[in-house]
């Protein structure tokens, strides 16, 4: 059974700091991995999607890496801003096609202090 | 595009009542997903449809839950009868291929 774990559960940093969020999964047979952002009271917004054959993806100040063999992914946020405050969730897609289920971690709640 | 639309945004009901949640996916997306989010269990997939056909309903907790997608622009999730443990935020998401686009959610409270 695929399990996705995110550590830490919560993180508070001063503005401008670079930070890393961690995601681990127990079954390396994944199709892809996605990072989402969730603001309080809102739905999820997709940030980055990494295919199982890829090592990393970048979008602006965000960089996500994937090490499938060790069951780990990281989300790197450069020069953090108060607007980055949100809950970040990672999700792995099971199986060998894009129709597999997404299994979500519990999320890391980030607070960036001005 | 207005994004995924869900209604109602909030629902408060009494135990035993029927609850119907509604979703309008983004036009052109051929997959639709229903999720439930709670503090204890996080985000869980309940059911998903591809081209209006249910593909995987293994996440539906019990027979009290049912979902339909009569056409490409509308889906419902029904709980009958509702119980206090069904209280959660229910999200609908749609997808053209792999990236999923989430609606704002329906916050359900069953008293």
> What whole-number percentage of chain A has pLDDT above 70?
96
β-strand pairing of B5-7 with A56-59: unpaired
Of B45, B55, B104, the CB nearest to A43: B104
Residues B3-15 pLDDT 10s: 999 999 999 999 9
Separation of alpha carbons A52 and A31, rounded Å: 5
The DSSP letter of residue B85 is G
Residues B8-66 pLDDT 10s: 999 999 999 999 999 999 999 999 999 999 988 889 999 999 999 998 888 898 899 99
pLDDT in the model for residue A80: 97
pLDDT in the model for residue B98: 82
> How far off is chain A from B1, nearest CA to CA, in Å?
15
Of B4, B45, B50, the CB nearest to A102: B45
Convert B64-103 to b/e letters by CB count within 10 Å (16 or more is b): ebebebeebeebebebeebeeebbbbbbbbbbeebebbbb
Residues A22-66 pLDDT 10s: 999 999 889 999 999 999 988 999 999 999 999 999 999 999 999
Asked if pLDDT for residue A100 goes beyond 80, the answer is no
Separation of alpha carbons A11 and A107, rounded Å: 11
């Amino acid at each position: 059974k695929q399990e996705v774990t995110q550590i830490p559960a919560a993180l508070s940093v001063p503005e401008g700091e670079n930070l890393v969020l961690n995601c681990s999964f127990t079954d390396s047979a994944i199709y892809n991995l996605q990072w989402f952002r969730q603001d309080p009271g809102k739905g999820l917004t997709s940030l980055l999607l990494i295919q199982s054959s890829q090592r990393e993806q970048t979008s602006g100040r965000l960089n996500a890496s994937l090490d499938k063999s060790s069951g780990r992914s990281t989300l790197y946020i450069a020069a953090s801003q108060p607007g980055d405050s949100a809950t970040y969730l990672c999700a792995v897609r099971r199986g060998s096609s894009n129709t597999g289920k997404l299994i979500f971690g519990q999320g890391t709640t980030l607070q960036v202090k001005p | 595009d207005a994004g995924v639309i869900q209604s109602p945004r909030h629902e408060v009901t009494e135990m035993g009542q029927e609850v119907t949640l509604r979703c309008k996916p983004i036009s052109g997306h051929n997959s639709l997903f229903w999720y439930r989010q709670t503090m204890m269990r996080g985000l869980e997939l309940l059911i998903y449809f591809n081209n209006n056909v249910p593909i995987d309903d293994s996440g539906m907790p019990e027979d009290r839950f049912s979902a339909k997608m009569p056409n490409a622009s509308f889906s419902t999730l029904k709980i009958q009868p509702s119980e206090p443990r069904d209280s959660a935020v229910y999200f609908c998401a749609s997808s053209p291929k792999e990236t999923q686009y989430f609606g704002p959610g329906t916050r359900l409270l069953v008293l």
